[in-house]
Amino acid sequence: MKTIDTYLHKKILVLGLAKSGVGAASLLQKLGAFVTVNDYKPLSENPEAQGLLEQGITVICGGHPIELLDEGFELIVKNPGIPYHNPMVEGAVQRGIPVITEVELAYQISEAPFIGITGTNGKTTTTTLVFEMLDAGNKKPLIAGNIGTVASEVVQKANSSNQIVIELSSFQLMGIESFKPHIAILTNIYDAHLDYHGTKIEYVKAKANITKNQTKDDFFIVNVEQEEVLEVARQSQAQIIPFSAKRILDYGAFVQDGWVLFNEEQIMKMEDIRLPGAHNLENILSAVAAAKLSGVSNKAIFQVLSTFTGVKHRLQFIKEVQGRKFYNDSKATNILATKNALAAFNGPTILLAGGLDRGNEFDELIPSFQNVKAIITFGQTAEKMEKAAELAGIKIIKRVDNVKTAVPLAYQLSDPDDVILLSPACASWDQFKTFEVRGDIFIEAVHMLK
């Protein structure tokens, strides 16, 4: 951790808590700032705020009083989930108060270089793969961001011999000033979070921030199959490293004659990769590029890719029961994710799907149902999912109350060599607090099968 006096005796407001807010507030206090925390949740229901209060940090809870901005703050560190059209954030901008996110603060004190991963889909899997490859290659990586400990805590333990592998959302990237990963990955760009960003143009701009401070000494790994990604790459000053799962490239990461290649070097055979799915091949290729740029050996990469079966809740292999393979893809909260999951399997599949009704139909899934022999629905969208299944000609369509009761029914309907796949194509909030809870219930039900 670098010793800096940037925030010494500065009056700083941390807006919104959760893990990033707690980490930022604690770090700023260590750096000598006068910290005030403001969180919407009442203090009595806010253990994070209570903990900061015990550290001697000023805490204001139960709302966001706009008059707080008139108390002379020199900086606001905003929770990424708070949108920029929030009155407190708009008020800060109008008053000329800089607004950053916690990852910017972490970067300023980090002795270790960053490998930053962003994109609409595949961030978590790619981040995990990069970390595992670097770890297998003895590169002393530390993992941070949305899937690990917040960056402001991780950097305090890091030194120049480490590399920090971090998953970055568009929300986090909107709040950076100097943040610069030595290696950046942009997996893909699809329509997402438009309620937060307003338009896709603004969403793409936020994603592009991952490379805005990179120089010719840095690397930007990009998916060349997407024009919007290529447009971001054209604006970058970094060395562009392409990857493609669809064609042979002159350099970068790609597939040829059944091998994964980086530049002209054969890394490993495709048949030895355990992680299923065409979309995961893109994640694998981008991770291989980052690992090779970091000096990881082919042996270490092979070690990871020949054993890695998926991040929890993301096309995660659970177990095989009497020849039936169970996969947990609870993170598939939209149609595209479920299409990708279904495309990962060539044999008969029993699909478990349904959840929160956001007003959309599921006709887009019909072409992906070609290997689905049965569908079991649940949640608010059960009827809509069944309608799409009927149009696709699926013969076996059943409805159950929830994921837990879907599992034994799926087993009853299945035969050896079938895949039983939870890939809901919907958010979980109609029945569960999070997609993780939904996935955990599925996993528990699978393990309870006799």
Angle between helices 123-136 and 278-293 (to 10 degrees): 40
| 3 annotated as a binding-site residue | no
Alpha-carbon dihedral sign for residues 242, 247, 250, 251? positive
Cβ contact 179:213 at 8 Å = yes
Q: Is 125 annotated as a binding residue?
A: yes
Q: Which of 147, 220, 223 has the alpha carbon at shortest distance from 190?
A: 223
What is the rounded CA–CA span in Å between residue 138 and residue 209?
Answer: 30
Is 124 annotated to bind a ligand? Reply is yes
Residue pair 256/278 in contact (Cβ under 8 Å)? The answer is no
122 is known to lie in a ligand binding site: yes
Q: Is 223 annotated as belonging to a binding site?
A: no
Q: Has 123 been labeled as part of a binding site?
A: yes
Annotated binding site: 119-125
Binding-site residues for ATP: 119-125
